[in-house]
Amino acid sequence: MKLDHLRNVGDGESAPPEAVRAAARDLRSLFRRQQARPAPVATALHAESGLPDDISLDGLEGLEGLDDIAKTINILATDTDLPPTATIDAPTPEEKLFHALRMKLIEELTTASNNQQFNLAGTTGRTAELRDFFRDAYERITARFTEYRIPANRRNSIIQDTINEVEGNGPIECLLDDPGISEIMVNGPRRVFIEQQGRLVFRPDVKFLDDTHLLNTIVRIVNRVGRRIDYGNPHVDARLPDGSRVHAIIPPLAIDGCVLTIRKFRQERVQLEDLISWGALTPDMAYFLGAGVKARLNIMVAGGTGTGKTTFLNILSTLIPGSQRIVTIEDSAELRLHETHPHVIRLETRATNTEGRGEVTIRDLMRDSLRMRPDRIIVGECRGSEVVDMLQAMNTGHDGSMSTAHANAAQDLLMRLETMFLMGSVNLPAVAIRRQIASALDIIVHLRRYADGTRRVAEICEVLGVGSDGEINIRPLFWYEVSDRDASGKVIGEFRVTDQAPHFLYKFDAEGMIFPAEIFTGGVSAL
């Protein structure tokens, strides 16, 4: 069977009819070579493969191999109509006209400011005042320059776009205002993607005119929060006033033009009850984690990019008793404990200044925090040598500390921690490092984003210690087991629980807590 036939079938409407028919003939030929079974198999090949209705597969219902071929077609199919990245559409004459008009309106505003007719200082929050000014300016411009006259139904949108350029974030302002969007990715001036409900979505209606327009917007965003970006410093991490995380990178590091990524900060607080209602974990799992926080277990949250590690850490942190003193350390302040907890000290790293000096790292702040009499230390994310000080703190009286790290599985996290430990220029044998890690950690929570965009707790593991082979042993307490996917692509599975209680239940007794060990009954952990 020819794979390019299958690819044509998978492309659906774009496939040439003759290629589709050739693929169908190949399918019939293969099916006829299979041995017929008395029990029927699935017959939804047309729906799954995109075959036209006029191609008949009558008489093949009982033949073996139908599902497998349909799945093969599905794998080879492409699900996008977007042109490749190298193909960039040029701005239309209308887009150029509208952009020129916006720049003319901004020029009028600058002139008025220079003539002290309009105070540009603190334009943010003066939307109504700016709108009135631009309406008057539009009338003056179109009276002098007829080429700037546009249809009446577009005037309000042009004025709003101009306001966004002056006091907002340009074309992406509407995306930042949409609470349903969790991430904004600008791949050059003409390609804007968003993440919505865990899926990437292309937004062809949101565009910048060119690289200069995009670069000016990036500069305005980072300057507003006290950072800078230019060709001498072509990449920057920053945090917007609402807590959203911004990363920008420009040429020469970004080969195809400026790139801007904004991970939006959820304004409403997420609680464990919300995660349960979303199916991210079960009530028993939530109770176990909540009890673990109160019993001062040391917890590490692991997962890939965009799995919700910081959100999950935020949720766990809210369960810390108010009588305990907490120090949080982050690259970019995203934890929100200060909104609910009475005794929080927040520390944030600092990048180098224009002279290349003044950097303050997470490791520097870890050492500072140890002198602040913390009951618990929470590090937003461990990426390097700071893991040495984090694990030392967990082992020296700061029980109940928490952090996050990137890892694809709970077992992978242990290898990453060992690697990061070695980045601290610590001259210790591997077994000694592993004993430090095993002694410090009680629980590893691994988060995962599945193919359908849903985020779940993939597993909760206890750290047992270092075995006779010198490796760290862990044991899953809860885990999510995938069984299938439905017709819409939704992942189907169930949470399962071990039948053995964790070894650290004595820590609950030490804190005066009664933990229901009957949770660990084995089998399915019901939602």
Q: How far apart are CA 107 and CA 292, in angstroms?
A: 60
The pairing of strands 376-379 and 402-406 is: parallel
- For tokens 């239940």, name the residue: 505
**Which one, of 432, 453, 441, lies nearest residue 504 by Cα?**
441
CA-CA distances (angstroms) from residue 416 to 401, 413, 420, 422?
A: 19, 5, 6, 10
For residue 437, give the nearest of 408, 403, 480, 478 by alpha carbon.
403
Tokens of 357: 């000096």
Q: What is the pLDDT of residue 267?
A: 74
In the chain, the domains with their CATH numbers are 3-76 (no CATH), 272-524 (3.40.50.300)
Strand order in the sheet with 259-263: 199-202, 192-196, 183-187, 259-263, 245-249, 235-239
DSSP E strands: which ranges in 319-371? 326-330, 344-348
pLDDT in single tens digits along all 527 residues of the chain: 443 444 444 444 444 555 555 655 665 555 554 434 333 433 444 444 444 454 444 544 444 455 555 555 555 555 555 666 656 678 888 888 888 888 888 888 888 877 666 666 655 557 788 888 888 888 888 877 777 777 777 888 888 888 888 877 889 999 998 988 989 999 999 899 999 888 888 998 899 988 999 999 999 888 888 888 888 889 998 888 887 889 999 999 998 889 999 998 877 788 889 999 999 999 999 999 999 999 999 999 999 988 989 899 999 998 999 899 999 998 878 888 877 888 999 998 887 777 778 889 899 999 999 899 999 999 999 988 889 989 988 988 889 999 999 999 999 999 999 999 988 877 888 899 999 999 999 999 999 999 888 899 999 999 999 999 989 999 999 999 998 888 777 889 999 999 888 988 888 887 777 777 788 887 777 66
DSSP string, 76-106: H-----PPPTT--PPPPHHHHHHHHHHHHHH
pTM: 0.74
pLDDT at position 158 is 86
Element (H, E) at 293: helix 283-294
Helix (H) or strand (E) holding 479: strand 472-485
Please name which of 310, 311, 211 lies closest in space to residue 252, comparing C-alpha atoms.
Answer: 211
